[in-house]
A = this chain, B = another copy of it.
Amino acid sequence: MRDVAKLAGVSHQTVSRVINEHPNVRAETRERVLAAMRSLNYRRNLAARTLATRESHTLGIIGFETTLFGPESMLYGIESAARAAGYLVSVATVRDLEHRPVLEAVDRLAQHDVDGIIAIAPKASVITALTHAPGGLACVAVGGAGPIASPHGGSTPEEPFPTVRVDNAAGARLATRHLLDLGHATVHHAAGPPDWPESQARVEGWRETLYAAGAVVPPVTSGWWDAAAGYEQGRRLAADHSVTAVFCSNDRIALGVLRALQEAGRRVPEDVSVVGFDDMPDSGFFLPPLTTVHQDFAELGRRALALLLRHMGRPGDAPPEDVVVAPSLVPRASSAPPRAGSALPGSAPPGPGSAPTRSS
């Protein structure tokens, strides 16, 4: 920078002003400085800038060390939005979402002077860890179930926290409603891990919809977010011939359920309808193509970044907003009306709103 100043015949401060687009620089001077910068191939040193301003123009992302589709996609959404806003993102992953490892990740990011943190894949424990972040460090959680206390797990954090998330309950309602509308007496549910708020919210949306329709609410089974867990759950469901419709907490679980049903000789969608959640890129190519609930992860990432920047702007504590994105249903071949009289021993009463109209 000193060299640039010398070459342009100005002081280093003027060079700094040009770099930072300060208005009070004569156009001619600015040009001279810019020319000098070009000819010297000058590039500002961000470390020095960080030292002086205490702003690193870097954002931290806390991720979960597992290839879950959602978190992945959000990483990209966040990164590209951050790039547009002039930030670089650094990632710190944690092996499990407990208090301790998350705190360490926050610490690591804080040490590298990140200006703010976005935590992906939050369980309640992640959020409580985040509230212990060093003062002044803006944090946002993306995913999770937001401040809506779950009626089951008592572990949801008490204090509100800035969050961006998909309306999981609404998505579950969409899926359940869809199956009910097709004429199924009731809908079974293959849930995700019981201690994940997103899973809890989906259970809730499902239960609520059945209840409102006067349908029987079958017991919930749960497991990890993968196909192996879905297979496990699917085997149990396949054994029960009263099951005609299954809503799965994500597409990977649905994949496992699909396989279990097929192994048991139950055809999809003729014997059993299956609906997933996520709309992964390939779920349209499952056998059969999977009806599912679409979430726009990229949009979620963008919103998360926007929220974080808003919070960074106001250094003190601003009201913690809760941004909610609506999911949508993607009907495909894995759901269809039940065969006449397929629910054989069905202890399920024909709920009120079960007119077999095709959902759009």
Contact = CB atoms under 8 A, between A and B. Distances in A.
B285 A255 contact: yes
Number of copies: 2
Contacts of A230: 285
A69 to B, nearest CB: 7
A195 interface: no
Contacts of A80: 65, 93, 95
23 contacts: A45-B51, A46-B112, A48-B51, A50-B50, A65-B76, A65-B79, A66-B76, A67-B73, A67-B281, A72-B72, A80-B93, A83-B92, A83-B93, A88-B112, A89-B90, A89-B91, A90-B90, A91-B91, A226-B281, A228-B284, A252-B281, A252-B282, A256-B282
Q: Which of A230, A262, A285 has the most CB of B within 10 A?
A: A285
A165 interface: no
A112 B72 contact: no
A293 interface: no
A231 interface: yes
Interface string A53-80: 0001110000001110100110110011
Nearest to A104: B83
Interface of A: 43-48, 50-51, 56-58, 65-67, 69, 72-73, 75-76, 79-80, 83, 88-93, 95, 108-109, 111-113, 226-228, 230-231, 252, 255-256, 258-259, 262, 281-282, 284-287, 289
Given A58-B112, A227-B282, A252-B282, 12 more contacts: A45-B51, A46-B113, A65-B79, A67-B281, A79-B91, A80-B93, A83-B108, A88-B108, A89-B90, A226-B281, A227-B281, A256-B282
A259 B281 contact: no
Contacts of A284: 227-228
Nearest to A234: B285
